[in-house]
């Protein structure tokens, strides 16, 4: 059993709290196919980032304005097409256990998409949500996590991040935070710790904040 002490928990959404893999991959496949892009490269690029940034990386010579328009179109579709969106195992109970303590969602989704997916998965949205509209820089830039820590008035070193993607894990580490990677793909991105899902997480009050036990 591993136990760490923290004063705030910062949680990614897709792949960490919510399983939306089928929808994300289907919509990105529809976008990528006309461009003749390698599907494996697309999957390695899009997870954890804002859509316009992924498009820019995949089509570096394309006008940025087109990426912005197509990203908005994709976000609109994602906010409507929520069939099959479910919680990551243990997410609802984990969020409930965090309720007395400082915590936030930090996601590359916009507010509408976050609200739709959290609702479809039956999850309570934390009082603080850092969505795409609130940052200038997408993950792997640490801006979102640092903004959440600042609003919660907690030092980055006292925050623990829960993330599944390479971009998100890098953002958390670069913010100077402890990062718990969630899911089967997280270990290859070298998080501080790793769990398969959120079923084994235990939260207990502590004089310094709270402890998180797992493993």
Span 70-121, pLDDT tens digits? 989 988 888 888 888 999 999 999 999 999 999 999 999 999 999 999 999 9
Q: Which of 12, 19, 158, 164 is catalytic?
A: 12
Q: Of 57, 89, 48, nearest to 173 (Cα)?
A: 48
For the chain, strand residue ranges (E) read 2-6, 8-11, 18-19, 86-87, 103-106, 128-130, 159-163, 178-182, 193-195, 202-206, 209-214
pTM (two decimals): 0.87
pLDDT at 136 over 80: yes
Structure tokens at 101: 């303590």
**Mean pLDDT across 16-43:** 90
174 is known as an active-site residue: no
- Of the chain, the end-to-end C-alpha distance in Å amounts to 5
Confidence of residue 47 (pLDDT cuts 50, 70, 90): confident
pLDDT at 48 over 80: no
- Regarding predicted confidence, which is higher, 185 or 44? 185
12 is known as an active-site residue: yes
Confidence of residue 27 (pLDDT cuts 50, 70, 90): confident
- Interatomic CA distance for residues 48 and 69, integer angstroms: 19
């Amino acid at each position: 059993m591993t136990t760490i002490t923290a004063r705030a928990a910062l949680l990614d959404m897709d792949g960490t709290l919510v399983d939306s893999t089928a929808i994300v991959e289907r919509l990105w496949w529809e976008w990528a196919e006309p461009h003749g892009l390698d599907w494996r490269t697309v999957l390695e690029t899009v997870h954890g980032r804002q859509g316009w940034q992924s498009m820019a990386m995949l089509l570096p010579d394309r006008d940025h304005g087109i990426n912005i328009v197509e990203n908005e179109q994709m976000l609109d579709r994602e906010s409507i097409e929520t069939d099959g969106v479910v919680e990551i195992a243990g997410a609802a109970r984990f969020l409930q256990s965090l309720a007395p303590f400082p915590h936030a969602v930090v996601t590359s989704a916009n507010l509408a998409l976050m609200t739709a997916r959290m609702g479809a998965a039956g999850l309570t949205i934390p009082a603080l949500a850092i969505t795409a509209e609130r940052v200038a820089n997408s993950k792997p830039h640490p801006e979102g996590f640092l903004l959440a820590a600042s609003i919660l008035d907690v030092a980055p070193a006292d925050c623990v991040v829960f993330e599944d993607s390479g971009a998100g894990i890098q953002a958390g580490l670069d913010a100077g935070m402890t990062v718990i990677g969630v899911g089967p793909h997280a270990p290859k991105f070298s998080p501080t710790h790793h769990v398969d899902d959120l079923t084994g997480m235990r939260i207990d009050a502590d004089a310094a904040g709270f402890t998180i036990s797992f493993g």
